[in-house]
Amino acid sequence: MKLRCAVLDDYQSVAATAADWSPVADDIDVVSFAEHCATEDELAARLAEFDMVVTLRERVPFPAALIGRLPRLRLIVASGMRNTSIDYAAAERHGVTVCGTASTATPPVELTWALLLGLARSIVTEANCLREGGPWQSTVGTDLHGRRLGILGLGKIGSRVAAVGRAFGMDVMAWSHNLTPERAEEAGAGFAASKEELLETSDFVSVHLVLSERTRGLLGARELGLMRPGSFLVNTSRAAIVDQEALLDVLHRGAIAGAGVDVFDTEPLPADHPMRSAPRLLATPHLGYVSQANYAAYYGDAVENIRAYLDGEPVRRLGR
């Protein structure tokens, strides 16, 4: 009898075509789910009859309690090579192998600039006015050239964002807990001695940090209050790095010019969530990693991981 593999949160129903599944077609039945499970009980019921799970990023937590409710589960494939939402110790106790996949930093870098440019030039407002017969030219765009771009986190993604900023003629400055002046210089950015200095002096602030206990709530009411009234905030990293209530407050008060957000405290975002109606907000439904090339890498490696597991030689193992 074939094993069963669940592909979770396949919102666009593209998992079957993003990769060639024929190498495992004789051994497993693949079932793709486009609807998100909002609770652990729903997820436990959905996965009860499955031996393998393919999940994207950190959309779906796999805590010890859930893993313990899935006695058939033997393999979890999570996209990317870092996932903090899986209890690896519990997986090992229950005999569940966890594997990752390749991923690329290019899509989130590109989306960061889509949001930043959309904010600076009021693209959505002007496009809607054009379609709906509104005013011809109702806003005055904010220039990038000569303005300061402050980057929180100068890793693989942040350093590429910095490179684009320099190409626009921006003054790029960066800060993170571990950043040194030497590393900043290597990436072509100035070094901010503190996050406060970066927030106070930047016209655009872009977040590119890993979520951890140090970065959770890093930008709260006090920090957002340091930003200039004409400045913009972009977060394509993790919602919890920015205090969501504090962000809503500064947007409603007009304390900053606007924010571009791709990540939220609850995903998918509930229909009545205040982020859906906040002023001065350009928001996208966590599209940072959603691209053809990334999906081909995710699902292509997922097939390889499943094949390797079936052959008794798992690859790209996580949590070891």
The answer to whether the beta carbons of residues 36 and 269 sit under 8 Å apart is no
Indicate if 121 belongs to the active site.
no
- Give the active site residue among 57, 147, 160, 286: 286
Report d(CA 288, CA 235) in Å as an integer. 10
Question: Annotated catalytic, 238?
Answer: yes
Q: Which amino acid is at 94?
A: H
Contact assessment for residue 111 and residue 133, using Cβ atoms and an 8 Å cutoff: no
| Given the residues 110, 267, 280, 316, the one annotated as active site | 267
Name the residue among 155, 152, 157, 142 with its Cα closest to residue 172.
152
* Count of residues making up the chain: 320
286 among known catalytic residues: yes
Taking a C-beta distance cutoff of 8 angstroms, is the pair 282, 115 a contact?
Answer: yes
Half-sphere exposure of 113 (CA within 13 A, CB side): 18
Catalytic residue among 58, 208, 238, 304: 238
CA distance to 43, 50, 281, per residue, from 5 (Å): 14, 6, 38
CA distances from 29 to 19, 46, 142 (A): 15, 15, 52
Q: What amino acid positions are annotated as catalytic residues?
A: 238, 267, 286
